[in-house]
Structures are given as C-alpha cells and as structure tokens.
Amino acid sequence: MAMPLGLGHSCRLAGRVMGALSRRQTRGTLLPAIRWYITQTAGNNLQFKLDDRTAHSSLDLFKKDTGVIYRILGLDPSHVQQNPERFRDWAVVFGDGRITGGRHYWEVTVKKSSEFRLGVAEAAMSRDDCVGTNRSSWVFGYVQRKWFAMTTNQRVPVPLVGKPDRVGILLDYEAGLIGLVDIPKAKVIHSMRVTFRGPLCPAFGLWDGELLTHSGLEEPEGLK
C-alpha cells in the first residue's frame, strides 16, 4: 500500500483506493491498554502468533496462526465476529504477544508479497487507523519495489537493494529502538528511535500475497 508522502498520493483502504488519509487519524478511540487474554513480557525474544481477533476480514491466518494471506475480496464483514480488537477498514493484523520491556528479534518471510508493512504498534492503537499513519505505530514497508520506514503518516526511504526472501525486526524497548535487519549481513539497515510508553505488539499490514512470521529467535550473532 503506497502511503502518501504528500499531495497526489493515495492509499488503499481494504481493497479500494482512498485519498486524504490524514482525515482518518483523528477518528476512533483508543482501546483499553489491558485486556484479560493478553500475555505480556518484559523479557527477551518474544514468541508470538498472529491474533485472529485483530485480523481484518480480508486477511486469513494459516500455519497455526504464524502466517497471513491477503484475499482481495475477503470475507463479508457480516460473517466475521465483531469485537473492538478487530481492524475494521485496514488490512492489518497484530501479534498476540505484548511487549513491556526487553530486547526482541523476529523474522518475516516476505518473498510471496509485493506490498506489506512490518513493525510494532501500541496494543491500544485505534482500530480505525492503519499501521504507520499515527504516533502509535512504527513500521517498515515495501511497495513498488522500494523500502521505507514510516510513522505519523510520514515515510523515509530505506536503502535496501532488492527484496530478500526474509527480513528481521529488532526491537529494544528500553533503548527506544526498532530496526530492519538484513539477515545474511547481520546488519541493521535502518532504525527508528522512539520513546515507548506502553505495551507494544508486533504489527503487520498486507495488501498482496502472504507473510510468514518466525518468532522466539535469538538475534543474529554479531548484529550491528
């Protein structure tokens, strides 16, 4: 999904083209920060699955809820169980783990998608927003054969040549860092510095193909 850098750009809203994304950022309310079914961790190397309660109706989970596939038509929203956790307009799904501290690393197989976002978001982020468009989410995206980092609806080009089959995400809560990792080179290609203030969860946006997550991993030796 190509998000606006400025005038003349547009974004995809659950399978159709929409403009003026910034108008959506003031809509909706934040979710309660604590919910009974959430597992929180302040340790390291979070292990998670994708949370079906949050998945937009255009997304299907597979491989024991570690993978997600985009269906351009999706399910009829009336056939999807409604709850305040679910993204209503945007093709987004969250991981089921919540991070309150520590250093974490996971990888995502991206070879079967040409349009996606990977990163983290506050667990209480509004389900009326898309990841990367507000102050509650920080993502790395790929669209039109280009990588970018995105938050508050602003994106910055990331100098990653081509599209590897698999990339890593590094999160250091106390250091306020989220980074995109080139796995073969064991190198953080691009990072964002953030003051995290609440529970976070892995976040994924998908508008083509499929993604497969790999969590509970040790970060690559010599990562820099």
Q: pLDDT per residue over 17-30, tens digit each?
A: 333 333 333 334 45
Distance CA 196, CA 26 (A): 21
Half-sphere exposure of 13 toward its Cβ, with a 13 Å CA cutoff? 15
* Average pLDDT score over residue span 25-49: 59
The residues, any chain, with a CB within 8 Å of residue 204's CB and separated by 6 or more, are: 50, 68, 92, 93, 94, 95, 108, 116, 117, 118, 131, 211, 213
> Which pLDDT value is given to residue 74?
55
When mean pLDDT is compared across 7-16, 62-71, 96-105, the lowest value belongs to: 7-16
Comparing 2 with 84, which gets the higher pLDDT? 84
* Average pLDDT score over residue span 106-134: 97
Q: How confident is the model at residue 16 (pLDDT cuts 50, 70, 90)?
A: very low
Query: Is the pLDDT at 109 greater than 90, yes or no?
Result: yes
How far lies 7's CA from each of 68, 135, 207, in Å?
Answer: 31, 20, 22
Residue 122, both tokens: 């506050």
> Which pLDDT value is given to residue 208?
95
> Which pLDDT value is given to residue 108?
98
Architecture of domain 52-214: Sandwich (2.60)
Residue 156, both tokens: 């910055």
Global model pTM greater than 0.85: no
The domains of the chain are located at 52-214
